[in-house]
Chain A
Amino acid sequence: MHIPDGFLSWTWPIYYVIMFVALYFSLRWARKNLDEKLIPLIAVLSAGIFAIMSMNMPIPFGTSGHMLGGALVAIVFLAPEAAVLVLFIVLLVQALFFGDGGITALGANVVNMGLIGGAVAYFSFRGLEKFTGKYPAAAIAAWLSLFIAAEVVAVEMWLAGTFPLDVGLASMGIYHAFIGVIEAILTVVVLIALDKLRPDLLAWNRKTSGGQKLEGSEEVAAK
């Protein structure tokens, strides 16, 4: 769902402003929570998300889609701020070097995939995990994050005068309901692998030791 240049008309600076505000919170989160051993994880997740975004999988209606990864990052770190940071890096590289997503649309792309994708995943995961268990919660959170991000793109396209609202919501919704299944499966696969191989890297295994992680996430929840 990378928005190209031109699709946002005059509205693109709005999303740059939101992106910079979100990045400010990411920076604060990093200063507080990003310790030495999480640095390689940030790097590997960024590179992995860059790579997996090239793997477009076929879905019905002659359309294709790929994983976004915002949900994965938000759940691994239990912080939507981390998703904003990682998606910002990936989308910046894609826009600058590969023409994937416009330069003027970078703000909107980071807001949609990083901020909305990450926040929807984080809050739905947090809300669901008590009832469904971790992995089903992660799957639903990942599906929701992609679906809602897609519908937000439809609204943005309508604000910019690019799509009519009804066609945008219907098309984006139908295609991304399928792409969301890919997002859900891959998110859960990576979480299971990390939990088996490096449980120490997952925030859900760390949050009970020491109040620091909890303090950070409550602060976000309060906003």
Chain B
Amino acid sequence: MSTNDKYLVIAGVIICLLIAVMSPFIASPDPDGLEKSAEDAGVPEVEASYESPFPDYTIEGLDKIGEISALVIGIIITLIIAYIVAIALRRRNPPEASK
């Protein structure tokens, strides 16, 4: 990775972490467009059949710290998975063949 690319990753991660720290405090708790449309249409809420490790970006008993931690964990997982997927799928042909 070039120095420029390192800066890109570092800057990107810092922005993500800032969002993760602010989001639990300033994000709107109102239902999103689809949830609200479901309310408008009178659709009852469905219970999730699958139990995720951090439902609704929370960690049980940890309140805001838990929400921040859940987001930070998610950011790191996403970054790593995306990196691995991108490396696995990257262009294979050697530079001379691509000209």
A: residues with CB less than 8 A from B are 1-7, 27, 30-48, 50-52, 54-59, 61-66, 85-86, 89-90, 92-100, 102-103, 150, 153-154, 157, 162-164, 167-168, 171-172, 175-176, 179, 198, 201, 210, 212
Contacts of B55 in A (CB 8 A): 98-99
Q: Which of B1-46 contact A (CB under 8 A)?
A: 1-2, 4-6, 8-9, 12-13, 15-16, 19-20, 22-23, 26-34, 36-38, 40-41, 43, 46
Q: Is the CB of B19 within 8 A of A89?
A: no
CA distance in complex: A95, B52 (Å): 8
CA distance in complex: A183, B74 (Å): 21
Q: A44-B79, A46-B78, A51-B71 are in contact. Are A34 and B12 (CB under 8 A)?
A: no
Of the residues B36, B57, B89, contact of A54 by C-beta under 8 Å: B57
Q: A7-B38, A47-B12 are in contact. Are A33 and B91 (CB under 8 A)?
A: yes
Q: A47-B12, A153-B34, A175-B33 are in contact. Are A39 and B90 (CB under 8 A)?
A: yes
- What 7 additional pairs, Cβ within 8 angstroms, besides A7-B43, A39-B90, A58-B28? A1-B32, A5-B49, A30-B86, A42-B82, A47-B13, A47-B82, A54-B71
**Majority SS at the chain B contact face:** helix
Q: A3-B34, A50-B78, A90-B78 are in contact. Are A44 and B86 (CB under 8 A)?
A: no
Q: Is the CB of A56 within 8 A of B36?
A: no
CA distance in complex: A44, B32 (Å): 25
Min C-beta distance of A215 to chain B, whole Å: 11
Q: A7-B38, A65-B33, A171-B37 are in contact. Are A51 and B83 (CB under 8 A)?
A: no
CA distance in complex: A4, B44 (Å): 12
Q: A32-B91, A64-B31, A90-B78 are in contact. Are A44 and B8 (CB under 8 A)?
A: yes
25 examples of A-B residue contacts, CB within 8 angstroms: A1-B34, A6-B46, A6-B49, A7-B38, A31-B92, A40-B6, A43-B80, A43-B86, A44-B9, A48-B12, A48-B15, A51-B71, A54-B20, A56-B27, A59-B33, A61-B36, A64-B28, A89-B85, A97-B54, A98-B53, A98-B54, A98-B74, A157-B37, A162-B41, A168-B41
Q: A51-B75, A52-B19, A98-B70 are in contact. Are A58 and B89 (CB under 8 A)?
A: no
Decide if B56 is an interface residue (CB 8 Å cutoff). Answer: yes
Contacts of B46 in A (CB 8 A): 4-7
Decide if B65 is an interface residue (CB 8 Å cutoff). Answer: no
Min C-beta distance of B31 to chain A, whole Å: 6
Contacts of A89 in B (CB 8 A): 78, 81-82, 85
CA distance in complex: A38, B83 (Å): 10
